[in-house]
Amino acid sequence: MMAQTVFEMDRAVLKSYSELGSEEVAKKMYEDIKRYLEGYDFEENSFQTFIATFPTTEVFSEKEFEELLWKQLQWLHKVDSQPWDPSVSSDPTSSKFSFSVAGKAFYIVGMHPKSSRLARQAPFPTLVFNLHWQFEKLREMGTYRRVRNTIRKRDKNLQGFINPVLEDFGKDTEARQYSGRKVEGDWECPFHHNP
């Protein structure tokens, strides 16, 4: 729903890259995300999303996509010269974890053709970077619960049941949600924060 809104309002920054899971791509992504943040108006109530697409990367399973997603995020973290956003945790096991790029926290939505979740299917691998600040702004505006419930209702209507990995921020680590795959109970996030 949020993605639909940003596209309708022409508020999406869409960038295309070659290989998902590479250091070279991470360097380009980092510069693009920095520019995106520099142009973001944090005083407005309208939101803008950064979307990274990988049209030449082919994935054959949900697990393969998940591995590439975390490999890309690890490279992105490695090239990031800014400190972790202090409003969230850098520990992927923490219920306060959110991925940080250029000093700002993001909730990552992974999409790809092999996703078992219809709402997460895309023609090619895609990483959607939603600023954590946007969710806090929705709470401040008193509309977060309504937006969340609408998203979950649409997901249920589309697939018959809500994505079982979805949790509100602070209930469990959001790292479990990034790939869209229903991860195992003993799943361990492969990401490691480098202080």
CA 139/CA 134 separation, integer angstroms: 9
pLDDT of 48 reads 85
pLDDT at 8 over 50: no
3-state secondary structure (DSSP) of residue 54: coil
Q: Is 101 inside a domain boundary?
A: yes
Bridge partners, 16 (sequence order) = 53
Mean pLDDT lowest among 82-86, 123-127, 155-159? 155-159
Q: Is 182 inside a domain boundary?
A: no
pLDDT of 62 reads 96
pLDDT of 9 reads 41
Q: Is 164 inside a domain boundary?
A: yes
Q: How far is CA 95 from CA 49, 102, 136, 151, in A?
A: 23, 21, 16, 21
Q: What percent of the chain has pLDDT over 90?
A: 62
3-state secondary structure (DSSP) of residue 131: strand
Tally of domains in the chain? 1
Q: Is 33 inside a domain boundary?
A: yes
Q: Is 84 inside a domain boundary?
A: yes
Question: Contact, 17 vs 85, CB < 8 A?
Answer: no
- Taking each helix axis from N to C end, the angle separating 23-38 and 62-79, rounded to the nearest 10 degrees, works out to 70
Q: Which residue's structure tokens are 């869409």?
A: 14
Q: Is 187 inside a domain boundary?
A: no
Mean pLDDT, rounded, of the chain = 85
Per-residue pLDDT averaged across 147-166, rounded? 64
Burial-class residue 23 by CB neighbours within 10 Å (0-12, 13-18, 19+): middle
3-state helix, strand, coil in the chain (%, to 5): 40, 15, 45
> Model confidence over 71-87: pLDDT tens digits?
999 999 999 999 999 99
First to last CA, the chain: 35
Quick count: other Cβ atoms within 10 Å of Cβ 36?
20
pLDDT at 47 over 90: no
> Model confidence over 19-31: pLDDT tens digits?
999 999 999 999 9
pLDDT of 158 reads 64
pLDDT at 111 over 50: yes
Q: Is 138 inside a domain boundary?
A: yes
**Tokens at residue 158, please?**
């589309």
Of residues 142 and 58, more confidence is placed in: 58
Q: Which domain holds residue 65?
A: 2-177
Give the global pTM. Answer: 0.84
Of residues 160 and 8, more confidence is placed in: 160
Closest by CA to 31, choosing from 46, 10, 12, 52, is 52
Q: Is 184 inside a domain boundary?
A: no
pLDDT of 149 reads 65
pLDDT of 157 reads 67
Q: What percent of the chain has pLDDT over 70?
A: 76
